[in-house]
Structure 1
Amino acid sequence: MGGAMALTLAALAYPGMLGLSTVSSSQTRIIAQTQWGPLTEADRDFVVKVRAAGLWEYPLGQIGLQKGSSKGVRTASEHLIDGHAALDASCRKIGPMLNITLPNVASPQQVGFVNQLKGESGKQFDTDFANILRMTHGSIFNTIAKIRSTTKNSLVRALADQANDTVLDHITVMEKTGLVDFDQTIFNQTTPPKLPSSDLTPPAPPAGQPEVVLTPPPTATSTPLDLGVLGGGTSGGGTGGGTGGGLTPSPVPSP
């Protein structure tokens, strides 16, 4: 089958593939051989983590534009929307190519962050917004570096490059708000609470549910991956086009 992705395994089972915590004792275990290189459990979980991050940080950026009482928080909110729309498009491109089913909602813990901030306003909102997002971006920054330095899959490597630039930008704009308590944030980042895996795992999308698309804002400056330069065919996923700047359902591609 010329140009088609070759997998040594059948479609990867859901929800085991979705764990944002370690789903097995060996994250280096190869679960599929693809034309872009072997795919490990860590590679697979990384793609899911990037998708899940956008599913709560993007809407939180929208909330920040409405509720942020400082220019720094509103600017950071614009960066969240812009950066995660592009990352989302990249995940939706490479997910089908690697036979990875992507979540449509974030994990319960991540949804909890959004619900907390929805209930706040003024200075409290601004402060918690900056510190929560600085903590979460700092946590995944280390994961990106590890994936980038160890993956043998060129699609995952390209996503890690994009995620590295985006997350560093988001860390920087959170710090520029002047609201980050570094002692507390770094403590929370390096000493996370021990939560059950169910709190850290986004739920499986129901069969036939339209795929959620994070559309870029009209003034978008971030761009999705250009898979043409990577070779190996094209994706069945969306391109992330549109100017609505909102969460839009899109038909799930046929198997």
Structure 2
Amino acid sequence: MPLSRSTLGSLAVGGALATTLAALAYPSMLGIQTTASNQARIIANTQWGPLTEADRNFVVFVRSAGLWESPSGSLAMQKGTTAAVREAGRHLVVGHAALDASCRQIAPELNITLPDQPTPQQQGFLANFRADKGKQFDSDFANTLRMTHGSIFNVIAKIRSTTENTLVRALADQANDVVLDHITQMEKTGLVNFDQVNFQETTPPKLPGAQVTPPVPQPGAPLVTLTVPPGLSTDGVPTGPATTPSPSAPSPTASPTTG
């Protein structure tokens, strides 16, 4: 079944995820409010290695992805009309709970502010899923999530190959396993339209920055935590331990560079 018109109209992601990360201006606890065009610019020197703008944006984006993909997974477990769709939903919930734990663990160490809401674009995806019924939900769910995961997979590879920060590197390792698993689960539904997905990944429409940047949380607001619901099996879902690697440098605290 083809994607619904509303979903097709919002699929401005794909290769745009790399652009999103390059354009993301997200503040850190260090008071950095703007971002330069050079993603390799070091914004902090930490005991785990230098932290670049690309590193920071990656942590923010992994967190933001979980904030819409975890509830999408919950919807799939409730609304999916096939066992494969419901199983894909379970993998989303379990995998993003693990990634979220890692993001929440390393963000304070690196002085990164995490979002508590997904981007407006991601909220639009979630709204489409909530409105969908029956087989249309199955199709939209599988194709949208296959496209977004296929796109971020390339971003993960770039971060993993370039970062000098051991905490970000460990998150990229974990994200690689989880995202590959989610790609596989979407394909196992038998609903992925590969021609359509590949087109959306390689020729995405351009969106305003405000649509692809998560809202900045209000000061003092409690941090949303993604967890695995009681009784939900984690069997067969790659998660990776949310553990802090040993420091790669002796410096005890992060020190900001010029913002």
What TM-score comes out, normalization by structure 2 length?
A: 0.80
1 CA distance for matches of 2:91 and 2:219?
32
Gaps of 5+ in 1: 1-9, 17-22, 234-255
2 CA distance for matches of 1:24 and 1:172?
36
2 CA distance for matches of 1:67 and 1:104?
25
Poorly superposed stretches of 4+, deviation over 6 Å: none
* Superposition deviation, residue 231 in structure 1: 4.4
* Superposition deviation, residue 224 in structure 1: 3.7
Asked if 2 retains the 8 angstrom alpha-carbon contact of 1:130 and 1:180, the reply is yes
Alignment: residue pair count: 217
* Superposition deviation, residue 141 in structure 1: 0.2
User: Which of 98, 111, 118 is residue 123 of structure 2 equivalent to?
Assistant: 111
> Which string of whole-angstrom CA distances, capped at 9 and with x for unpartnered residues, describes residues 163-194 of structure 1?
00000000000000000000000110111110
In structure 2, the partner of 1:127 is 139
Secondary structure of the structure 1 residue equivalent to 2:180: helix
In structure 1, the partner of 2:109 is 97
1 CA distance for matches of 2:29 and 2:84?
44
1:230 equivalent to 2:230? Answer no
In structure 1, the partner of 2:61 is 49
In structure 2, the partner of 1:13 is 31
In structure 2, the partner of 1:212 is 224
Q: 1:176 to 1:136 in 2, by over 3 A?
A: same
* Superposition deviation, residue 225 in structure 1: 1.9
* Superposition deviation, residue 223 in structure 1: 4.4
In structure 2, the partner of 1:144 is 156
Asked if 2 retains the 8 angstrom alpha-carbon contact of 1:14 and 1:204, the reply is no
Q: Superposed, which structure 2 residues align to 1:54-73 within 5 Å?
A: 54-73=66-85
Asked if 1 retains the 8 angstrom alpha-carbon contact of 2:146 and 2:183, the reply is yes
2 CA distance for matches of 1:15 and 1:85?
28
> Structure 1 counterpart of 2:234, which letter?
A
What TM-score comes out, normalization by structure 1 length?
A: 0.82
Asked if 1 retains the 8 angstrom alpha-carbon contact of 2:73 and 2:88, the reply is yes
Percentage identity across aligned positions? 62
Gaps of 5+ in 2: 1-27, 251-259
> Which string of whole-angstrom CA distances, capped at 9 and with x for unpartnered residues, describes residues 41-96 of structure 1?
00000000100000000001011111100111000000000000000000000001
1:164 equivalent to 2:182? Answer no
In structure 1, the partner of 2:19 is none
Asked if 2 retains the 8 angstrom alpha-carbon contact of 1:15 and 1:204, the reply is no
1 CA distance for matches of 2:74 and 2:33?
29
* Superposition deviation, residue 15 in structure 1: 5.8
- If asked which structure has higher relative contact order (CA below 8 Å, sep 6+), I would say 2
* Superposition deviation, residue 230 in structure 1: 2.8
2 CA distance for matches of 1:36 and 1:44?
13
